[in-house]
Amino acid sequence: MKVLPVIAGCALLAGCVSMPTDGPVREPQVPSATDDAPGISFDPRPPRDGESATDIVEGFLEAMKATPITTTVARQFLSGEAADAWAPEEQIITYAEPGTATGEAFVRVPLADINVYDDRGAWERSGAKRVLELGLVQEDGQWRIDSVPDALIVPESWFDDQYQRASLYYFDPTAEVLVAEPVFVPRGDRSASTLVRGLVTPPPEKLAEVVSTYFPAGTRDGLAVPIFGGVAAVSLSGDPAAVDEEIGRRMLAQLAWTLRQDPQVRAIQLSVGGRAITLAEGSSQGDLDAGDPFDPDGERPVPDLYALDDGRVVSGTLGAFVDTLGPFGGSGYDLRSIGVSISGSQVAAVSASGTELFVAPTQAPDGEVANPITGAVDLAPPHWDYRDRIWVLDRNAGRARFLVVVDGGAREEVVPGVTGRTVTKMLVSRDGSRLVAVVRGRTADRVVSTRIRHDAAGTILGFTPLQELPLPVEASTRIRDIAWRSPTSIAVLRNINEELSLVRTISVDGAPGDVETGGSNVVRDRMRTLVSAPVDGSEVYALGRDLAVTNVTRPERLVPALPEGLTALTYVG
């Protein structure tokens, strides 16, 4: 199965801007939605007779801000040939404010603070400036735009109001777990159609060997997903004979986890080429938990908080930790940090010297203690992925090394742009598809991310080019800690001053803006550590001086200070 990633944009219903659909799709006959977008409606004016070339360009830019989202009026500012050819679904370009339009037959408009989103709604890149160049012609004595980029070009504020963050779900290359790909989709009733359109669109080649999909490539037809009584009807074109029971099951898994983000959807009906895709038990309706067998989190262990208490591995809840039953639950090992497998069955522990890594079961008193890493310089806390691989950063006196323990043996993986640099923190996603690191600079720290490439057997093939993640400037340029907040976002801890700290949640794809998570961004005290997990319902804790603990997600909740001697607090993973 070919490896692919995906994203989404705005649905095309009666002239609404849509994301193209590289996938087997056909259009159900449903009424066009015109009043489903949130907020205040905006109906832009069409062109007027006698307007200058710059007036036409300014009117065109204004018309693309129509709410609900539609390009019907915007096309009226184009020549007949350009109106037929214009494909605004190819990308979205956002800007802060347009400059003054100048010219006549060739009009230029300066744009600042640019962000570009691809044909699936995925953020691609940012830029400080760009000049929009539009060619105009006289048509029936009126200026009309004849040369125009295939893009929806809108203010960033408009985009923020009309679009929201979401994810499309694909399989990893081994087809064992689902992987979230961040996207932006329109708010309102069109989100289901847009999400499905993104899911059936083939992902870009840059994510080959990162994710895979079970939706076969096909035509670029329009797609709408009607929802009746909470059931989303997804009707795709293509050859139904090509979809056997296993492929259908995995298509439903991808759909279920993608569409469960739409609060209107409670179940899914999928058909291909007019044939309903049924489950093994004969049902033609898929529940939203269809993807649960492919959850990289597995079954959430209870408890899922672990720590060191005077060097012993303990588990439980804040204020109620007990010794684990494995070898590290007793004395005899001098440890400084730990990482626990996602299932909670194994613990990886770094020696007090930072030079060795030990691995042992958490519940078997007579369990074997392995020692896969020796001779390191300065090991950071270890992290586990769903394949029970252990990822460890050796800070190595400013020349970072990345070590992976697989089946009891350790090997070094070279991460271009990060290996050999001064790296202070590292995270690896539970699905094994992302690595995030904090790179120390002379005056400021940077957070960078890369995708981990695999083959179908799960062997690591390499890494994609680094992406630097944008950070707001209202706090220290030094980063104290990072932690997973969701499968596609991380929390970043920095100090504001001696009395306040700042926790921001950002997307791992580099898209601008904070990710809305609730809770408080500003935390009292000079915090040093974040404790967080990419699981819904998990609390985020910030640890500070004098063993103080603050609940970041629910600051109104009082949290007891850590008892003397308790260190290395962590969730599984």
Q: For the chain, give the percent of residues with pLDDT over 70.
A: 91
Max alpha carbon distance in the chain (Å)? 90
Q: Which of 272-281, 301-310, 460-469 has the lowest average pLDDT?
A: 272-281
Choice between 410 and 20, residue whose per-residue pLDDT is larger? 410
Identify the pLDDT of residue 1: 39
Q: Bridge partners of 391?
A: 383, 404
What is the Cα–Cα distance from 508 to 93, expressed in whole angstroms?
Answer: 20
Residue 15 binned pLDDT confidence (cut-offs 50, 70, 90): very low
Identify the pLDDT of residue 224: 84
Identify the pLDDT of residue 107: 97
Identify the pLDDT of residue 190: 86
What is the Cα–Cα distance from 135 to 104, expressed in whole angstroms?
Answer: 8
Please compute the mean of the pLDDT values over residues 166-185 and round it to a whole number. 97
Identify the pLDDT of residue 505: 95
Please compute the mean of the pLDDT values over residues 22-48 and round it to a whole number. 57
Give the neighbor-by-neighbor strand order of the sheet with 401-406. 383-384, 390-394, 401-406, 409-413
Identify the pLDDT of residue 518: 75
What is the Cα–Cα distance from 274 to 239, expressed in whole angstroms?
Answer: 9
Identify the pLDDT of residue 280: 65
Identify the pLDDT of residue 218: 58
The answer to whether the CB of 197 falls within 8 A of the CB of 235 is: no
What is the Cα–Cα distance from 150 to 96, expressed in whole angstroms?
Answer: 20
CATH number for the domain whose boundaries are 305-571: 2.120.10.30
Cis ω before 203 (30° cut-off from 0): no
pLDDT of residue 353 exceeding 90, the answer is: yes
Choice between 31 and 240, residue whose per-residue pLDDT is larger? 240
Residue 212 binned pLDDT confidence (cut-offs 50, 70, 90): very high
User: Does pTM top 0.85 for this prediction?
Assistant: yes
Identify the pLDDT of residue 310: 93
Identify the pLDDT of residue 18: 35
Residue 187 binned pLDDT confidence (cut-offs 50, 70, 90): very high
Q: For the chain, give the percent of residues with pLDDT over 90.
A: 75
Identify the pLDDT of residue 48: 97
Q: How high does pLDDT run on average in the chain?
A: 89
Residue 300 binned pLDDT confidence (cut-offs 50, 70, 90): confident
Give the tokens for residue 306. 């672990």
pLDDT of residue 219 exceeding 80, the answer is: no
Nearest CA to 215 among 25, 26, 29, 18? 25
| Start and end residues for every CATH 2.120.10.30 domain found in the chain | 305-571
Identify the pLDDT of residue 453: 98
Identify the pLDDT of residue 188: 87
Per-residue model confidence as pLDDT tens digits over 331-344: 889 999 999 999 99
Please compute the mean of the pLDDT values over residues 118-132 and round it to a whole number. 92
Q: Residue type for 448, please?
A: V
Choice between 216 and 2, residue whose per-residue pLDDT is larger? 216
Identify the pLDDT of residue 10: 32
What is the Cα–Cα distance from 385 to 458, expressed in whole angstroms?
Answer: 12
Identify the pLDDT of residue 167: 96
Per-residue model confidence as pLDDT tens digits over 536-555: 889 999 999 888 899 999 98
Choice between 217 and 493, residue whose per-residue pLDDT is larger? 493
What is the Cα–Cα distance from 559 to 549, expressed in whole angstroms?
Answer: 6
Please compute the mean of the pLDDT values over residues 155-182 and round it to a whole number. 96
Per-residue model confidence as pLDDT tens digits over 59-113: 999 999 999 999 999 999 999 999 999 999 889 999 998 999 999 999 999 999 9
